[in-house]
Structure 1
Amino acid sequence: MADDCPKCEKGPAPWLATFADLMSLLMCFFVLLLSFAEIDAIRFKKMAESMRDAFGVQREIPAPEIVMGTSVIKQEFSPSTIPEPSLIDEVRQQTTDIQKQNLDVPDAVADAVVEAAREKVLMEVEQQAEEIRQALRLEIEENLVSVETEQTKIIIRINEKGSFPSGSAELNDDFYGVMVRISEAVARTPGKVVVAGHTDDVPISNSRFRSNWELSSARAVTVVHALLDDPEVDPKRIAVEGHADSQPLVPNDSVENRAINRRVELIIQRGSDLDNGHLLDLGLPQG
């Protein structure tokens, strides 16, 4: 029976080759895990370029900056400590901080720029008001109109004297020449125009006007129609308001004071320029 048993071949057992392959594969696997634990940006980029050339990749993708990361293989390995960032990461972080400091505008600087823009607008408003005063010099001397400034507003005030008959919203015929000059001045001056009518505190009630509110609004509308006779005046700039006796200039305690309060005001508002255009001219973002 012993002669029938096949003889074993001399040498190592066949399963050792498979076991050795398994050990080799496990070692390669753990080496790869170790190598991918950190990424060196410079080495990774060089490796990627080598792989591209080796496999004949023809498509070029521009990469002006080094890829972010910390290493595919670190020269000094310490499993017990957290890897320190590479020099490239530190330089990138410091550069970012410096850029942020340069881009941040301190509140004091922004306030100073806005104040400079405001001063510029105020100077323009005063200059334009002076030009309107020169154009209406005769009317101002006769106390038919007055021109004032209030912050970024130019106020052309039409007094009732010479403009409207008492209790009426129809302009006097000889006042239309004054309105032509006012229209020319408004057309030359940029900004929104609010035409506001005002009365004294003496109530009115007749077949046409039920109250001073209607009278003040009707007078403002009459002035607007006179303004729009000039084709240079854009209707989109115009707004109408009627205030009755709610906004007196002086107390309604005498005949003279009531005459002062009866008026129509053309308010040219330049505040929107300060919020938009002038800030853009100075290179500052809005909002």
Structure 2
Amino acid sequence: MAKHSKRHGNHEEHMDESWLIPYADLLTLLLALFIVLFASSKMDAKKFDQMVRSFDVALNGGIGVFNQPSPVPLDPSLPQQTLHMGKETDDKEKTEEEKKMEEAIRKETEDLKKLQQRMEDYIKANNLGDKLQTQLTDEGLLITILDNALFDSGKADLKPEARKLAAEMASMLVPHPKKVTVTGHTDNVPIHRAEFPSNWDLSVKRSVNFLKVLLENSNLDPSKFSATGMGEYHPVASNATPEGRAKNRRVEVAILRDLASPPKSSPPPATE
């Protein structure tokens, strides 16, 4: 009887341990989840998407919560980053938009270069190289005309040959319907005339008179043109010499760009 009781006691000590198998599987899945979450803070969305798809295929045939887009950004410095295939489409669309903008800017630059070449040909044909200059800038095409090519000293009425120059320039501007500014400049020598009490008045009157001759061409849109006077306050050379003062007495015609150059993208922040 005692032997039977001892055998029965030993049988009760060996409990059913089959529950350990699913428990161990659960712990393994949780460990894998924590590894994935930790790794996600150290990688970009594309690599993370590849990893979670591999886990899905290995664990449940590719159908699970990993297939759904994540509502939480991976990197706080990249708030727009999400884990779904639409992200790649957005990137492609953005790239296409950038390409279109770059192409439009390139075409506009080529048009301005053609206009500059036409102006350079006119300058060369009329021996005006010492009086007219052209420069292509980030803002557009700048044409600088020294005042002795346009006006007599201390006056604002255009010379006959200057009217011819303005008419020729106007015809060149017709195929390029852009905004145009005409700006008058003087040297710092005070002017004492009843018509022009100051260099401000002289610079404004000269720019307006040149603008009026440009707009005698009826094919130009006056709403795109403007005239200003800067007086003596924007010199390009020293007023201490006659040569410098001659360079400062000028009229600048600026054909402005319609498109601005895109800002340079800053490098992404470094991750630890």
Matches within 5 A, 1:151-166: 151-166=138-153
Task: Report what 1:279 is aligned to.
Answer: none
Determine if the alignment matches structure 1 residue 241 to structure 2 residue 204: no
Amino acid at match of 1:210: P
RMSD: 3.3
Describe how 1:13-24 pairs up with structure 2 within 5 A. Answer: none
Q: Is the 8 A contact 2:115 2:172 kept in 1?
A: no
What are the equivalent positions in structure 2 for 1:26-37 lying under 5 Å apart? none
Query: How far apart in 1 are the matches of 2:132 and 2:218?
Result: 23
The one of 250, 254, 259 equivalent to 1:273 is 259
TM-score by length of 2: 0.60
Give yes or no for the alignment of 1:133 onto 2:120.
yes
Q: CA deviation at 1:112?
A: 7.2
Structure 1, unmatched stretches of 5+, are: 1-86, 277-287
Distance 1:187 1:116, change over 3 A: closer
SS at match of 1:161: helix
SS of the residue aligned with 2:226? strand
1:232 aligns with 2:219: yes
The equivalent residue for 1:252 is 239
Distance 1:106 1:206, change over 3 A: same
Shift in alpha-carbon separation, 1:191–1:249, aligned structure 2, 3 A: same
Structure 1 partner of 2:182:
195
Letter matched to residue 145 of structure 2:
I
User: Matches of 2:254 and 2:117 in 1, distance apart?
Assistant: 15
- CA deviations on 1:17-40 (whole Å, 9 max, x unpaired) are xxxxxxxxxxxxxxxxxxxxxxxx
Corresponding residue SS for 1:104: helix
Q: What whole-Å deviation, never above 9, does each CA across 1:1-52 have from its counterpart, x for those lacking one? A: xxxxxxxxxxxxxxxxxxxxxxxxxxxxxxxxxxxxxxxxxxxxxxxxxxxx
1:223 equivalent among 206, 210, 220: 210
The answer for the alignment partner of 1:97 in structure 2 is 84
Letter in 2 for 1:224: L
Quick one: which of 124, 127, 134 aligns to 1:147?
134
Work out whether residues 183 and 227 of structure 1, in 8 Å CA contact, stay in contact via their aligned partners in 2.
Answer: yes
Aligned-pair CA distance for 1:216: 0.3
Q: What's the offset of the Cα at 1:162?
A: 3.2
Task: State the alpha-carbon separation in 1 of the partners of residues 129 and 66 from structure 2.
Answer: 77
SS at 2:196 equivalent: coil
Match of 2:195 among 198, 208, 222: 208
Unaligned runs of 5+ in 2: 1-62, 71-81, 263-272
What is the aligned-residue identity percentage?
26
Question: In the alignment, what sits opposite 1:176?
Answer: 163
Using the TM superposition, give the Cα deviation of residue 103 of structure 1 relative to its aligned residue in structure 2, in angstroms. 1.1
Contact 1:139–1:145, Cα closer than 8 Å, also in 2: no
Give the length in aligned residue pairs. 190
Write the mapping of 1:44-83 to structure 2, written as runs, cut at 5 A: none
CA 1:230/1:113 → structure 2, altered by over 3 Å: closer, same or farther? closer
Superposed CA offset, 1:237-260 (max 9, x none): 101111111111111111121111
For 1:148 and 1:232, how far apart are their aligned partners in 2? Answer: 25
Equivalent-residue separation in structure 2 for 1:145 and 1:139 (angstroms): 11
Q: Is the 8 A contact 1:199 1:216 kept in 2?
A: yes
Q: Contact conserved, 1:139 with 1:178, CA < 8 A, in 2? A: no
**TM-score when normalising by structure 1:** 0.57
The alpha-carbon distance between structure 1 residues 146 and 253, as it changes in their structure 2 partners (threshold 3 A), is same
Are the counterparts in 2 of residues 249 and 260 from structure 1 also a CA contact under 8 Å? yes
Cα deviation, residue 146, structure 1: 2.3
